[in-house]
Structure 1
Amino acid sequence: MKKAYVFPGQGSQFSGMGHSLYHSHQDAMNLFEQANEILGFRISDIMFDGSDDELKQTRVTQPAVFLHSVILALTMEDFAPDMVAGHSLGEFSALVAARALRFEDGLKLVYARAMAMQKACDAVPSTMAAVLGLDDEQVEQICAGVEGIVVAANYNCPGQLVISGEKVAVQQACEALKAAGAKRALPLPVGGAFHSPLMQPAAEELAKAIESTHFNRPICPIYQNVTAQPHTDVEEIKRNLIDQLTGPVRWTQTVRNMVADGATAFVEVGPGKVLQGLVKKIAPEVSVEGVQ
């Protein structure tokens, strides 16, 4: 019997996140204050009292979700993972929780990633769309037949994918997907085409930051998005983190591989319950809980 800890990504943020954690644990308070100092603004104030619009700012969203998840993991008394994984941004949270990255280095990388992604988003009109009710292969084939850049970006669970790419190409793909029988194919309120080739400039920028950061061997395997496989080798982990920006999040495959490798209990650490819902759909036989 093995326990898997999983960490959410962008979109899980909410006003008030981390507030009770800050006020109930001295170590948590210290880490939040350290984060405020590193970032040069009081992100904790925005997390606790900010509006939804303030929390959606790129410079806030990714570090906020990261901080909530990581500070929870670092202050849990019984945190003893047999394996970890994170959805997109959550992969950085998982790496800090598994001691592959120091807290401050993880935060600096997440902030660098957020700003690089924003720059790439500003360069080309791009978006993402949720697709429900089609097989993975059907979605891939339809995207491949559309002119322009549009790819499968998030394999969230069976029958639920997110596609990503140039705005016009995503719109055309949505029409074709609905014609093929998709229950829904609708654009998402995001700033750009994450996990697509359009993120290449961001990947190059992030690569420089990752190469200049010290990584340790994690205390347990981390199942990474781009391969859905367990990794402990530092160089492999770094390469997969860079490739993640332009490659898909293989969440369905990740959870299945973790279960095949013995995971019987999953714990989502961080804001929201998105991953708990996805794990239940992918592997209904395992136990699932959340820590917020």
Structure 2
Amino acid sequence: MNAVLLFSGQGAQKVGMGQDLLNAYPTAKALIEQADAALGEPLTKVMFEGPNEELTRTCNCQPALYVHGLACLAVLKELVPALTPVAAAGLSLGEFTAHAAAGTYTFEEGLRLVQKRGAFMEEACNATKGTMAAMIGGSDDAVTALAAECDVDVANFNCPGQTVVSGTEEGVDKAIAGAKAAGIKIAKKLNVAGAYHSRLMRSAQIKLAEELALVNFGMPSIPVYCNYEARPVESSEDIRLMLEKQVCGSVRWTASMQKLIDQGERLFIELGPGKTLAGMMGRICKEARVISIEDVESLQAAVEELKGM
């Protein structure tokens, strides 16, 4: 059966992620242990034991989510050999996981890229005073106009009625204050370390571009949708450019999912902690089915559901 693979972004992580998968499935155990060996440090200790503040650090949560998403996928493919992925997409960091799933680069190459991306973004957060705010119940046009007025950027177009702005604390506070007048129902600051997907990440983008230049990208085995332009990537150079521009650019998730829906895709599998992407899809297309997998229990339920289709 055909399905689109979706991978979680930063913010989905939680302490304990992946531990039951490692204990239950040798495939997951091998992949997770390979990650520790490749990084030369016990990422799994932070994933399994925390503390939460340590796992939430950008340099830790990005590789943790990458490894967790691919471990979920590896076991799923083993248990449901009839599953045929037809496309892949990931929210922000998840776009890197999607490329690993599609064979654009090896597991270890992607892991090293993601670790560096997380470290560069953490450095940029520490060097700038930035924040983000969710804008709920307003149009994309209203949020875009408000962001321009307050000299901040639109970080995420997540789903209809849910947009995120990012930038200086002063600019984001101004946007929150002006939200009601712009027709936005709720505006609330997010608990984040910095201004992701904004111009304040410029130093991280420049450093990541240097790392991306060293990677030999293959063409993915299935279409991988990029956040920056909401379309499938077309060449090695295109992949490199889209992954670079994504650091400061907007995540156009609604547009990406809408394109897949327009092509007739209705079955999606979310790989990663929580059900954030399933929730967003509920606002993008009511007819789409999203099966969320994050642990042994949800994996077994997904296997039963997929085998029954």
TM-score normalized by the length of structure 2: 0.91
Other structure's SS at 2:74 match: helix
Which of 9-18 and 53-62 deviates more?
53-62
- 1:265 corresponds to which of 267, 274, 296: 267
Mapped contact 1:125–1:166 kept (Cα < 8 A):
yes
- Cross-structure match for 2:24: 24
The alignment status of 1:6 with 2:6, answered yes or no, reads yes
TM-score normalized by the length of structure 1: 0.96
- Cross-structure match for 1:256: 258
| CA deviation vs aligned residue, 1:6-46 (integer Å, no higher than 9, x gap) | 00100111111101111122232122122112222211122
Question: 1:30, 1:266 → 2: CA distance?
Answer: 26
Question: What pairs with 1:50-199 in structure 2 (closer than 5 Å)?
Answer: 50-75=50-75, 76-77=77-78, 78=81, 79-146=83-150, 149-199=151-201
Any stretches of 5+ residues in structure 1 without a counterpart? none
Any stretches of 5+ residues in structure 2 without a counterpart? 295-309
**Letter of the structure 1 residue corresponding to residue 49 of structure 2:** D
Question: 2:2, 2:37 → 1: CA distance?
Answer: 37
Measure how far apart 1:90 and its partner are: 0.3
Other structure's SS at 1:17 match: coil
Mapped contact 1:222–1:232 kept (Cα < 8 A):
no
Other structure's SS at 1:109 match: helix
Other structure's SS at 2:179 match: helix
Question: 1:143, 1:58 → 2: CA distance?
Answer: 25
**Letter of the structure 2 residue corresponding to residue 218 of structure 1:** P
Question: 1:60, 1:231 → 2: CA distance?
Answer: 27
Other structure's SS at 1:82 match: strand
Question: 1:178, 1:109 → 2: CA distance?
Answer: 40
Question: What pairs with 1:218-229 in structure 2 (closer than 5 Å)?
Answer: 218-229=220-231
Mapped contact 1:220–1:232 kept (Cα < 8 A):
no
Measure how far apart 1:145 and its partner are: 1.4
Question: 2:162, 2:293 → 1: CA distance?
Answer: 24
**Letter of the structure 1 residue corresponding to residue 272 of structure 2:** G
- 1:208 corresponds to which of 207, 210, 232: 210
Measure how far apart 1:2 and its partner are: 4.5
**Letter of the structure 1 residue corresponding to residue 39 of structure 2:** L
**Letter of the structure 2 residue corresponding to residue 219 of structure 1:** S
Measure how far apart 1:179 and its partner are: 2.7
Question: 1:233, 1:3 → 2: CA distance?
Answer: 23
Other structure's SS at 1:27 match: helix
| CA deviation vs aligned residue, 1:64-117 (integer Å, no higher than 9, x gap) | 111100122233223521011000000011000011110000000000000111
- Cross-structure match for 1:246: 248
Question: 1:242, 1:271 → 2: CA distance?
Answer: 25
Question: 2:122, 2:46 → 1: CA distance?
Answer: 19
Question: 2:181, 2:142 → 1: CA distance?
Answer: 12
For the aligned residue pairs, the C-alpha RMSD in angstroms reads 1.3
Moved over 4 A (4+): none
Measure how far apart 1:234 and its partner are: 1.6
Question: 2:131, 2:98 → 1: CA distance?
Answer: 26
Quickly say closer, same or farther: Cα 1:28–1:232, change in 2 above 3 A: farther
- Cross-structure match for 2:35: 35
Which of 28-37 and 198-207 deviates more?
28-37
**Letter of the structure 2 residue corresponding to residue 203 of structure 1:** Q
| CA deviation vs aligned residue, 1:120-161 (integer Å, no higher than 9, x gap) | 111211011001010000011111112xx4011100100100
**Letter of the structure 1 residue corresponding to residue 16 of structure 2:** G
Number of residue pairs matched by the alignment: 290
Question: 1:208, 1:166 → 2: CA distance?
Answer: 26
Which of 248-257 and 57-66 deviates more?
57-66
**Letter of the structure 2 residue corresponding to residue 152 of structure 1:** V
